[in-house]
Amino acid sequence: MRETITELIWVRLPGPLRHRARLIASLLVLAGSLFFLGYAVVQGWDTLEPHVRDIDYRFLGLAFLCYPFGFLPIAWNWHKIMTGVAGFDNRGQNIRVYCLSCLPKRIPGFIWYVASRIAMYRERQVDAPAVVAATGVETIILILSGGLTYILTTGATQLRLERSLAGPAVVVFLLAIVAPILAPILCHGAVRLLRHVGVSVSVDFGARDVMLLLGTSMLAWIGGGGILFLVANSVTAVSLMDLPRVIGAWGAAGAFGLVAGLLVQGMGLREVTLAMLLSGLMPFSVAALVSILFRLLLTVGEVVWALAIAWYAGRFASGLP
């Protein structure tokens, strides 16, 4: 059989070389994304300078305080996923592990994020394959819910702006109907893939469970979009009527970043995508600044709030007041 170029240069590489190639590709993507955003800022500096000078830190402070609205729904989903995949239903411990595992996200390489979860759950007598399967289910749910959030919010905007309502209405309706049916299929596909490589797990999720997971994840995307709206208003005036578009931009950029992270390290791609989607509401250089500020806020918020919630969840799991 004829071998493809991909098989020759990738699949047949020894394990260490393959990991090194993936790391190099990830660093190139990150460097390219940073260069693209930096170039946009430099080129549009004349437009951007007044916005930088007049950043409203009150909006940034409010965005930081609102961070749990985008964080807690995903932490709750992780608890429900671990209950369904591993049968581990200790809410306090699941939320604590989720919060603490968020910290290694900033280390390049998806492996550190998963490895931290495996190490913490090993202490709780949960097998590594179950943790890997739960992480796969979580990723699928986040991607689907981010895309669904984008379609729904874009549809809502189009319903207001366009005379022809049939197209967006049909798309939104079909996606809302198909997603709960499609998600279990993808979840079980992930399980079969893991079994193919020698990892045996079971996923106890029906359509109703997936609908609840999707709904909760959409709340997280909406909360994150609201935080992004506050960050954007710290730089430039964004109308409340444009809030659905901002939420949709975050859902689409986040889902794309997760998909990219499965192939190469997605750092930077999400920010570039977000800036491009926001450029319909503001000059691209301003959108790039908003995207960078939002990334910084997420990083600081994730560290501070994740540690605070992990501390409280640990006390809750131990039965302390």
Q: pLDDT tens, 86-101?
A: 888 888 899 999 998 8
Number of C-beta neighbours around residue 79 at 10 A: 20
CA distances from 12 to 17, 60, 122 (A): 10, 48, 32
Query: Tokens at residue 170, please?
Result: 């049909």
- Is the per-residue pLDDT at 218 higher than 80? yes
**Whose CA is closest to 97, among 60, 49, 131?**
131
Buried (b) or exposed (e) across 225-255, using 16+ Cβ within 10 A? bbbbbbbbbbbbebeeebbbbbbbbbbbbbb
Q: Judging by beta carbons within 10 Å of its beta carbon (0-12, 13-18, 19+), is residue 99 exposed, middle or buried?
A: buried
**What pLDDT, in 10s, does the model give residues 28-41?**
545 554 554 554 55
Question: How many angstroms separate the CA atoms of 195 and 176, rounded?
Answer: 30
pLDDT value at position 18?
47
**Whose CA is closest to 77, among 142, 32, 148?**
142
Q: Across residues 128-152, what is the average pLDDT? A: 84
Domain that holds residue 253: 5-317
Q: Across residues 150-171, what is the average pLDDT? A: 57
Question: How many angstroms separate the CA atoms of 172 and 241, rounded?
Answer: 20
pLDDT value at position 63?
94
**Whose CA is closest to 270, among 172, 143, 151?**
143
Of the pLDDT bands very low, low, confident and very high (cuts 50, 70, 90), residue 49 is: low
- Three-state SS string over 118-160 comes to HHHHHCCCCCHHHHHHHHHHHHHHHHHHHHHHHHHHHHHHHHH
Number of C-beta neighbours around residue 50 at 10 A: 10
Domain count, the chain: 1
Query: Tokens at residue 7, please?
Result: 């098989």
- Is the per-residue pLDDT at 173 higher than 60? no
**What pLDDT, in 10s, does the model give residues 297-313?**
888 888 889 889 988 88
